[in-house]
Amino acid sequence: ARDMARAWPRIQYLALDSDRSCRIKPQITLNGLLAFATHCPFLQSLSITFDATIIPKLKGNARYISQHSLEELDVAHSPVGKPCPVAKFLCGIFPHLTTITTLFENLPSDTLDRDVAASHKSWKKVQNALWNY
């Protein structure tokens, strides 16, 4: 993620396609999103699959990283942990983030398997919690 972010510092929209059937844990973590916050100040919309099950402790200068352009985050089928800590982390690095979407945004909930529906619901809780931070 860091190399990609450094290569495109003026990028405004980035969509990294995700395998819809992929059940493999993503290699990019919440820490990886710091690279986009640090190196892509104009990024407004990001679509990426990442692991949001572990909240990193921000140390040193990382505590002060804040990118104010990103408003939309498409998490595809990213695994997510507890919604409130994830929302707090995301708000810390992307304070203008208002919209979080998943790969299953427009599908009827009764067509999703239990795990997918639970993940989608958790990401909606993250989005709703953004307003608290």
DSSP annotation string for 43-56: --EEE---BBSSPP
State the CATH number of the domain containing residue 29: 3.80.10
Residue 9 pLDDT more than 80?
A: yes
| Strand arrangement, sheet containing 45-47 | 13-15, 45-47, 72-74, 99-101
Q: What is the pLDDT of residue 21?
A: 54
Query: Across residues 96-103, what is the average pLDDT?
Result: 94
Mean of all residue pLDDT scores within the chain: 90
| Structural domain count of the chain | 1
Parent domain of 53? 2-132
Q: What is the pTM of this model?
A: 0.89
